[in-house]
Amino acid sequence: MKWNAPSCVRRLALLSTGLAIACTAPSPPTATAPNRPDPAPEAAVPASPPSESPAMAIMPPEPSPNPASMAQPEVQLVPVMAGLERPWGMAWLPDGSMLITERAGRLRQVQNGQLLPTPIAGVPPVFAQGQGGLLDIALHPRFAENQWVYFTYAAGNAQANRTRVARARFDGDALQDWQDIFEVSQAKAGGQHFGARLLWLPDETLLVSIGDGGNPPVRLAGQLIRLQAQNLDSALGKVLRLNADGSIPDDNPVFDRQPSQRLPVWSYGHRNIQGLAYDPLRDRVWATEHGARGGDELNLVQPGENYGWPVVSHSREYATGQPVAPAQSQPGAVDPLMVWTPAIAPSGLAVYSGEVFPAWRGHLFAGGLVSRSVLRLEATEQGATVSEIIAVGQRVRDVRQGPDGLIYILTDEVNGRLLRLEPR
Protein backbone atom coordinates (compact mmCIF):
# COMPACT_ATOMS: atom_id res chain seq x y z
CA MET A 1 0.00 0.00 0.00
CA LYS A 2 1.27 3.50 -0.89
CA TRP A 3 0.65 6.51 1.30
CA ASN A 4 -0.39 9.44 -0.92
CA ALA A 5 0.06 12.93 0.47
CA PRO A 6 -3.01 15.07 -0.19
CA SER A 7 -2.55 18.29 -2.12
CA CYS A 8 -4.59 20.18 0.48
CA VAL A 9 -4.61 19.05 4.10
CA ARG A 10 -7.77 19.50 6.16
CA ARG A 11 -7.19 22.28 8.69
CA LEU A 12 -8.01 21.95 12.35
CA ALA A 13 -9.38 24.95 14.23
CA LEU A 14 -9.21 23.49 17.69
CA LEU A 15 -9.74 24.87 21.15
CA SER A 16 -6.98 23.89 23.60
CA THR A 17 -7.60 25.48 26.95
CA GLY A 18 -5.98 24.59 30.25
CA LEU A 19 -7.78 23.69 33.47
CA ALA A 20 -6.85 25.40 36.71
CA ILE A 21 -4.77 22.89 38.65
CA ALA A 22 -3.96 22.87 42.34
CA CYS A 23 -0.39 21.61 42.57
CA THR A 24 3.12 22.61 43.56
CA ALA A 25 4.12 23.78 40.09
CA PRO A 26 4.61 27.45 39.22
CA SER A 27 1.98 29.06 37.00
CA PRO A 28 2.12 27.20 33.70
CA PRO A 29 2.70 28.70 30.29
CA THR A 30 -0.53 29.43 28.47
CA ALA A 31 -1.90 26.73 26.19
CA THR A 32 -3.62 28.60 23.39
CA ALA A 33 -6.05 27.72 20.67
CA PRO A 34 -4.05 27.45 17.43
CA ASN A 35 -6.06 30.09 15.58
CA ARG A 36 -6.11 32.69 18.35
CA PRO A 37 -3.63 35.58 18.50
CA ASP A 38 -0.74 35.06 20.86
CA PRO A 39 -1.48 36.04 24.48
CA ALA A 40 0.35 38.88 26.14
CA PRO A 41 3.93 38.01 27.14
CA GLU A 42 4.34 36.46 30.55
CA ALA A 43 7.30 36.08 32.84
CA ALA A 44 9.47 33.04 32.30
CA VAL A 45 8.76 30.03 34.48
CA PRO A 46 11.00 30.31 37.57
CA ALA A 47 13.63 27.66 38.12
CA SER A 48 12.52 26.19 41.41
CA PRO A 49 15.12 24.05 43.24
CA PRO A 50 14.59 20.29 43.36
CA SER A 51 13.06 18.87 46.49
CA GLU A 52 15.34 16.88 48.78
CA SER A 53 12.47 15.01 50.42
CA PRO A 54 12.14 11.29 49.61
CA ALA A 55 8.68 11.76 48.08
CA MET A 56 7.29 14.93 46.52
CA ALA A 57 3.51 15.28 46.89
CA ILE A 58 1.33 16.12 43.92
CA MET A 59 -2.02 17.71 44.56
CA PRO A 60 -4.93 16.16 42.68
CA PRO A 61 -6.50 18.20 39.88
CA GLU A 62 -9.74 20.07 40.25
CA PRO A 63 -12.80 18.10 39.14
CA SER A 64 -13.06 17.53 35.42
CA PRO A 65 -15.86 19.37 33.62
CA ASN A 66 -16.83 15.98 32.19
CA PRO A 67 -19.26 14.43 34.72
CA ALA A 68 -18.59 10.98 33.29
CA SER A 69 -14.88 11.14 34.03
CA MET A 70 -13.43 8.72 36.55
CA ALA A 71 -12.04 9.80 39.92
CA GLN A 72 -8.40 10.79 39.49
CA PRO A 73 -5.75 8.87 41.42
CA GLU A 74 -3.70 10.35 44.25
CA VAL A 75 -0.06 9.94 43.34
CA GLN A 76 3.39 10.83 44.55
CA LEU A 77 6.66 11.44 42.72
CA VAL A 78 9.31 9.15 44.20
CA PRO A 79 13.04 9.38 43.44
CA VAL A 80 14.43 6.07 42.16
CA MET A 81 18.08 7.11 41.81
CA ALA A 82 20.39 10.01 41.02
CA GLY A 83 23.91 10.38 39.66
CA LEU A 84 23.10 10.49 35.93
CA GLU A 85 24.87 13.14 33.85
CA ARG A 86 22.44 14.78 31.43
CA PRO A 87 20.40 11.61 30.72
CA TRP A 88 18.39 11.63 27.50
CA GLY A 89 16.53 8.38 26.85
CA MET A 90 15.62 5.12 28.61
CA ALA A 91 14.53 1.60 27.75
CA TRP A 92 13.74 -1.56 29.71
CA LEU A 93 15.41 -4.93 29.22
CA PRO A 94 13.38 -8.14 29.49
CA ASP A 95 14.77 -8.79 32.99
CA GLY A 96 13.39 -5.46 34.24
CA SER A 97 16.70 -3.61 34.33
CA MET A 98 17.06 -0.35 32.41
CA LEU A 99 19.39 1.17 29.85
CA ILE A 100 19.78 4.97 30.01
CA THR A 101 21.74 7.19 27.64
CA GLU A 102 23.84 10.10 28.89
CA ARG A 103 24.38 12.89 26.40
CA ALA A 104 28.14 12.90 26.96
CA GLY A 105 28.28 9.53 25.18
CA ARG A 106 27.77 6.96 27.92
CA LEU A 107 25.26 4.12 28.13
CA ARG A 108 24.35 3.25 31.71
CA GLN A 109 22.51 0.30 33.23
CA VAL A 110 20.19 0.38 36.24
CA GLN A 111 19.51 -2.85 38.16
CA ASN A 112 17.16 -3.06 41.13
CA GLY A 113 17.08 0.72 41.39
CA GLN A 114 20.88 1.00 41.50
CA LEU A 115 23.06 2.65 38.86
CA LEU A 116 25.89 0.31 37.93
CA PRO A 117 29.19 2.17 38.30
CA THR A 118 30.76 1.22 34.96
CA PRO A 119 29.24 2.45 31.68
CA ILE A 120 28.48 -0.16 29.04
CA ALA A 121 31.29 -0.47 26.49
CA GLY A 122 30.84 -0.21 22.74
CA VAL A 123 29.50 3.32 22.15
CA PRO A 124 31.54 5.16 19.48
CA PRO A 125 32.66 8.80 19.88
CA VAL A 126 29.78 11.30 19.67
CA PHE A 127 29.57 15.05 19.10
CA ALA A 128 28.58 16.10 22.61
CA GLN A 129 28.37 19.87 22.29
CA GLY A 130 25.32 22.07 22.60
CA GLN A 131 22.28 19.85 22.18
CA GLY A 132 24.29 17.05 20.58
CA GLY A 133 25.58 13.80 22.01
CA LEU A 134 24.24 10.31 22.61
CA LEU A 135 20.49 10.86 22.45
CA ASP A 136 17.60 8.40 22.31
CA ILE A 137 17.46 4.64 22.78
CA ALA A 138 14.89 1.99 21.85
CA LEU A 139 14.97 -1.80 21.94
CA HIS A 140 13.87 -3.75 18.89
CA PRO A 141 10.35 -5.15 19.52
CA ARG A 142 11.87 -8.65 19.35
CA PHE A 143 14.96 -7.80 21.39
CA ALA A 144 14.73 -11.10 23.27
CA GLU A 145 15.36 -12.86 19.95
CA ASN A 146 17.86 -10.56 18.24
CA GLN A 147 19.44 -8.36 20.98
CA TRP A 148 19.28 -5.24 18.79
CA VAL A 149 19.33 -1.85 20.58
CA TYR A 150 18.76 1.32 18.53
CA PHE A 151 20.25 4.76 19.15
CA THR A 152 20.26 8.30 17.81
CA TYR A 153 23.37 10.40 18.22
CA ALA A 154 25.15 13.47 16.89
CA ALA A 155 28.33 12.81 14.92
CA GLY A 156 31.02 15.17 13.62
CA ASN A 157 32.42 18.42 14.96
CA ALA A 158 31.36 22.01 15.54
CA GLN A 159 31.81 22.91 11.87
CA ALA A 160 30.18 19.82 10.32
CA ASN A 161 27.81 17.52 12.19
CA ARG A 162 24.65 15.49 11.64
CA THR A 163 22.16 13.13 13.28
CA ARG A 164 22.75 9.41 12.88
CA VAL A 165 20.61 6.36 13.64
CA ALA A 166 22.48 3.26 14.75
CA ARG A 167 21.95 -0.19 16.17
CA ALA A 168 24.11 -2.61 18.12
CA ARG A 169 23.64 -5.95 19.83
CA PHE A 170 23.70 -5.96 23.63
CA ASP A 171 24.98 -9.22 25.07
CA GLY A 172 24.30 -8.26 28.70
CA ASP A 173 27.76 -6.79 29.22
CA ALA A 174 28.72 -4.70 26.18
CA LEU A 175 27.51 -3.50 22.79
CA GLN A 176 28.65 -5.50 19.78
CA ASP A 177 28.34 -5.05 16.00
CA TRP A 178 27.61 -1.30 16.04
CA GLN A 179 26.01 -0.29 12.73
CA ASP A 180 25.05 3.19 11.49
CA ILE A 181 21.85 2.50 9.55
CA PHE A 182 20.95 6.09 8.59
CA GLU A 183 22.51 9.53 8.68
CA VAL A 184 21.42 12.97 7.57
CA SER A 185 23.33 13.55 4.35
CA GLN A 186 23.76 17.30 4.86
CA ALA A 187 26.37 18.38 7.37
CA LYS A 188 25.58 21.45 9.42
CA ALA A 189 27.43 23.79 11.75
CA GLY A 190 26.72 24.41 15.43
CA GLY A 191 25.12 22.27 18.09
CA GLN A 192 21.37 22.74 17.69
CA HIS A 193 18.25 20.81 16.66
CA PHE A 194 19.26 17.18 16.16
CA GLY A 195 15.86 15.76 17.12
CA ALA A 196 16.07 12.84 17.78
CA ARG A 197 13.37 10.56 19.21
CA LEU A 198 12.88 6.92 18.24
CA LEU A 199 9.52 5.17 18.13
CA TRP A 200 8.63 1.64 17.04
CA LEU A 201 5.30 1.13 15.30
CA PRO A 202 3.28 -2.10 15.58
CA ASP A 203 4.48 -3.22 12.11
CA GLU A 204 8.10 -3.11 13.39
CA THR A 205 9.03 -0.03 11.38
CA LEU A 206 10.91 2.73 13.19
CA LEU A 207 10.00 6.42 13.32
CA VAL A 208 12.84 8.91 13.87
CA SER A 209 12.44 12.65 14.44
CA ILE A 210 15.12 14.85 12.86
CA GLY A 211 15.47 18.51 13.81
CA ASP A 212 15.66 21.37 11.30
CA GLY A 213 19.35 22.06 11.97
CA GLY A 214 19.24 25.19 14.09
CA ASN A 215 18.20 28.80 14.63
CA PRO A 216 19.32 31.87 12.65
CA PRO A 217 22.00 32.69 11.70
CA VAL A 218 22.79 29.02 10.89
CA ARG A 219 22.65 28.62 7.12
CA LEU A 220 22.87 25.84 4.57
CA ALA A 221 23.14 26.16 0.80
CA GLY A 222 22.90 29.95 1.01
CA GLN A 223 19.69 30.14 3.06
CA LEU A 224 18.55 29.72 6.65
CA ILE A 225 18.91 26.05 7.48
CA ARG A 226 15.42 25.85 8.99
CA LEU A 227 13.96 26.16 5.47
CA GLN A 228 15.16 22.59 4.89
CA ALA A 229 12.11 21.45 6.86
CA GLN A 230 10.08 22.15 3.69
CA ASN A 231 12.63 20.55 1.34
CA LEU A 232 11.74 16.95 0.48
CA ASP A 233 15.31 16.41 -0.73
CA SER A 234 16.51 16.88 2.87
CA ALA A 235 16.01 14.81 6.03
CA LEU A 236 16.19 17.95 8.18
CA GLY A 237 12.92 18.92 9.88
CA LYS A 238 11.26 15.57 9.23
CA VAL A 239 9.86 12.46 10.85
CA LEU A 240 11.41 9.49 9.06
CA ARG A 241 10.17 5.90 8.85
CA LEU A 242 12.74 3.12 8.46
CA ASN A 243 12.81 -0.62 8.36
CA ALA A 244 14.81 -2.26 11.13
CA ASP A 245 17.90 -2.47 8.89
CA GLY A 246 17.66 1.19 7.83
CA SER A 247 16.07 0.55 4.44
CA ILE A 248 12.97 2.43 3.27
CA PRO A 249 9.58 0.73 3.69
CA ASP A 250 7.74 0.17 0.42
CA ASP A 251 4.57 1.77 1.79
CA ASN A 252 6.14 5.05 2.92
CA PRO A 253 4.26 8.16 1.74
CA VAL A 254 4.38 9.28 -1.87
CA PHE A 255 4.39 13.07 -2.24
CA ASP A 256 2.99 15.35 -4.92
CA ARG A 257 6.38 17.07 -5.04
CA GLN A 258 8.67 14.15 -5.80
CA PRO A 259 12.20 14.63 -4.43
CA SER A 260 15.23 14.01 -6.62
CA GLN A 261 16.33 11.24 -4.27
CA ARG A 262 14.09 8.96 -2.27
CA LEU A 263 14.28 9.57 1.46
CA PRO A 264 12.34 7.78 4.22
CA VAL A 265 10.14 10.84 4.91
CA TRP A 266 6.99 10.13 6.95
CA SER A 267 6.00 13.76 7.64
CA TYR A 268 7.70 17.12 7.23
CA GLY A 269 7.61 20.77 8.28
CA HIS A 270 8.87 20.11 11.81
CA ARG A 271 11.21 22.29 13.87
CA ASN A 272 12.56 19.96 16.55
CA ILE A 273 10.48 17.06 17.89
CA GLN A 274 11.73 15.65 21.20
CA GLY A 275 8.52 13.95 22.30
CA LEU A 276 7.19 11.06 20.17
CA ALA A 277 4.76 8.41 21.39
CA TYR A 278 2.53 5.68 19.97
CA ASP A 279 -1.03 5.46 21.27
CA PRO A 280 -1.89 1.73 21.36
CA LEU A 281 -5.48 2.41 22.44
CA ARG A 282 -6.31 4.50 19.36
CA ASP A 283 -3.53 3.54 16.92
CA ARG A 284 -2.09 7.06 16.64
CA VAL A 285 1.26 8.81 16.82
CA TRP A 286 1.56 11.93 18.98
CA ALA A 287 4.43 14.42 19.04
CA THR A 288 5.48 17.41 21.09
CA GLU A 289 7.66 19.88 19.26
CA HIS A 290 9.82 22.81 20.32
CA GLY A 291 8.84 26.22 19.05
CA ALA A 292 11.28 29.12 18.98
CA ARG A 293 10.21 31.91 21.34
CA GLY A 294 6.94 30.31 22.31
CA GLY A 295 4.91 28.32 19.84
CA ASP A 296 5.61 24.83 21.25
CA GLU A 297 3.19 22.33 19.72
CA LEU A 298 1.28 19.13 20.33
CA ASN A 299 0.61 17.36 17.04
CA LEU A 300 -1.12 14.23 15.83
CA VAL A 301 1.48 13.03 13.32
CA GLN A 302 0.15 11.37 10.20
CA PRO A 303 1.99 10.05 7.15
CA GLY A 304 2.47 12.38 4.22
CA GLU A 305 1.43 15.55 6.03
CA ASN A 306 3.14 18.94 6.18
CA TYR A 307 3.19 20.55 9.65
CA GLY A 308 4.16 23.95 8.32
CA TRP A 309 7.48 24.95 9.87
CA PRO A 310 8.88 27.53 9.21
CA VAL A 311 6.34 29.02 6.77
CA VAL A 312 3.47 28.51 9.24
CA SER A 313 4.12 28.91 12.95
CA HIS A 314 3.11 30.54 16.25
CA SER A 315 6.80 31.08 17.11
CA ARG A 316 8.67 34.36 17.32
CA GLU A 317 12.28 35.15 16.51
CA TYR A 318 14.67 35.01 19.44
CA ALA A 319 16.56 38.10 18.29
CA THR A 320 13.69 40.43 17.43
CA GLY A 321 10.49 39.02 18.91
CA GLN A 322 8.86 39.28 15.49
CA PRO A 323 6.81 36.36 14.10
CA VAL A 324 8.90 33.68 12.43
CA ALA A 325 6.25 33.02 9.79
CA PRO A 326 3.84 35.28 7.92
CA ALA A 327 0.90 33.08 8.98
CA GLN A 328 -0.15 30.85 11.86
CA SER A 329 -2.40 28.74 9.63
CA GLN A 330 -2.78 28.11 5.92
CA PRO A 331 -4.18 25.49 3.57
CA GLY A 332 -1.82 22.58 2.99
CA ALA A 333 -0.34 22.57 6.51
CA VAL A 334 -1.73 20.78 9.56
CA ASP A 335 -2.56 22.93 12.59
CA PRO A 336 -1.30 21.84 16.01
CA LEU A 337 -3.81 20.55 18.54
CA MET A 338 -2.23 22.68 21.27
CA VAL A 339 0.19 25.62 21.31
CA TRP A 340 2.21 26.74 24.34
CA THR A 341 3.31 30.37 24.63
CA PRO A 342 5.52 31.01 26.57
CA ALA A 343 7.39 27.82 25.81
CA ILE A 344 7.43 24.78 28.06
CA ALA A 345 10.27 23.32 25.92
CA PRO A 346 8.61 19.90 25.52
CA SER A 347 10.80 16.81 25.71
CA GLY A 348 9.65 13.26 26.37
CA LEU A 349 6.12 12.02 25.74
CA ALA A 350 4.17 8.95 26.83
CA VAL A 351 0.63 7.67 26.26
CA TYR A 352 -0.58 5.83 29.35
CA SER A 353 -2.03 2.38 28.64
CA GLY A 354 -1.37 0.59 31.94
CA GLU A 355 -3.62 -0.75 34.68
CA VAL A 356 -2.15 0.96 37.75
CA PHE A 357 -3.94 4.25 36.97
CA PRO A 358 -7.09 3.21 35.04
CA ALA A 359 -8.47 6.77 34.99
CA TRP A 360 -5.41 7.85 33.02
CA ARG A 361 -5.66 5.32 30.21
CA GLY A 362 -5.26 7.17 26.93
CA HIS A 363 -3.90 10.33 28.58
CA LEU A 364 -0.66 11.89 27.38
CA PHE A 365 2.21 12.80 29.70
CA ALA A 366 4.45 15.52 28.26
CA GLY A 367 7.72 16.56 29.85
CA GLY A 368 8.90 20.18 29.92
CA LEU A 369 12.50 21.39 30.14
CA VAL A 370 11.63 25.02 30.86
CA SER A 371 8.41 24.33 32.77
CA ARG A 372 10.26 21.74 34.92
CA SER A 373 7.13 19.67 35.04
CA VAL A 374 5.12 16.89 33.45
CA LEU A 375 1.77 17.87 31.94
CA ARG A 376 -1.08 15.35 31.85
CA LEU A 377 -3.07 15.97 28.68
CA GLU A 378 -6.40 14.70 27.45
CA ALA A 379 -6.27 14.81 23.67
CA THR A 380 -8.34 13.72 20.71
CA GLU A 381 -8.18 14.64 17.04
CA GLN A 382 -10.60 17.48 17.90
CA GLY A 383 -8.39 19.15 20.51
CA ALA A 384 -6.50 18.84 23.79
CA THR A 385 -6.61 20.16 27.34
CA VAL A 386 -4.07 20.27 30.16
CA SER A 387 -5.69 18.32 32.99
CA GLU A 388 -2.85 18.31 35.52
CA ILE A 389 0.59 19.82 36.02
CA ILE A 390 3.01 17.64 37.96
CA ALA A 391 5.83 19.72 39.44
CA VAL A 392 9.26 18.08 39.16
CA GLY A 393 11.61 20.97 39.98
CA GLN A 394 14.20 19.95 37.39
CA ARG A 395 14.34 20.01 33.59
CA VAL A 396 12.35 17.02 32.35
CA ARG A 397 14.05 15.28 29.44
CA ASP A 398 12.11 12.03 29.03
CA VAL A 399 8.83 10.47 30.16
CA ARG A 400 7.98 6.77 29.68
CA GLN A 401 5.56 4.16 30.93
CA GLY A 402 7.46 1.29 32.49
CA PRO A 403 6.58 -2.39 32.15
CA ASP A 404 5.18 -2.22 35.71
CA GLY A 405 2.52 0.29 34.60
CA LEU A 406 4.15 3.20 36.47
CA ILE A 407 5.38 6.42 34.85
CA TYR A 408 9.12 7.15 34.83
CA ILE A 409 10.77 10.55 34.39
CA LEU A 410 14.38 11.51 33.57
CA THR A 411 15.66 14.95 34.55
CA ASP A 412 18.22 16.78 32.44
CA GLU A 413 20.75 17.91 35.01
CA VAL A 414 24.45 17.39 35.75
CA ASN A 415 23.16 15.24 38.62
CA GLY A 416 20.15 13.95 36.73
CA ARG A 417 17.54 11.81 38.43
CA LEU A 418 15.24 8.94 37.58
CA LEU A 419 11.84 9.49 39.19
CA ARG A 420 8.67 7.42 39.30
CA LEU A 421 5.00 8.30 39.70
CA GLU A 422 3.41 5.91 42.20
CA PRO A 423 0.00 5.63 43.88
CA ARG A 424 -0.04 7.41 47.21
Distance of alpha carbon 269 from alpha carbon 272, whole angstroms: 10
Contacts of 368 (CB under 8 A, 6+ apart): 344, 345, 346, 347, 374, 375, 396
Distance of alpha carbon 388 from alpha carbon 76, whole angstroms: 13
- Annotated catalytic residue, options 140, 193, 270, 314: 193
Smallest Cα–Cα separation from 62: which of 111, 12, 119, 21? 21
Smallest Cα–Cα separation from 152: which of 202, 193, 119? 193
Q: Within 13 Å of residue 188, how many CA atoms lie on the same side as its CB?
A: 33
Angle at 224 between CA 219 and CA 230, to 5 degrees: 125
CB 409 within 8 A of CB 367: yes
Q: How far is CA 62 from the centre of its chain?
A: 27
* 111 three-state secondary structure: strand
Q: Verify whether residue 314 is a known catalytic residue.
A: no
Distance of alpha carbon 80 from alpha carbon 78, whole angstroms: 6
- Catalytic residue IDs: 193
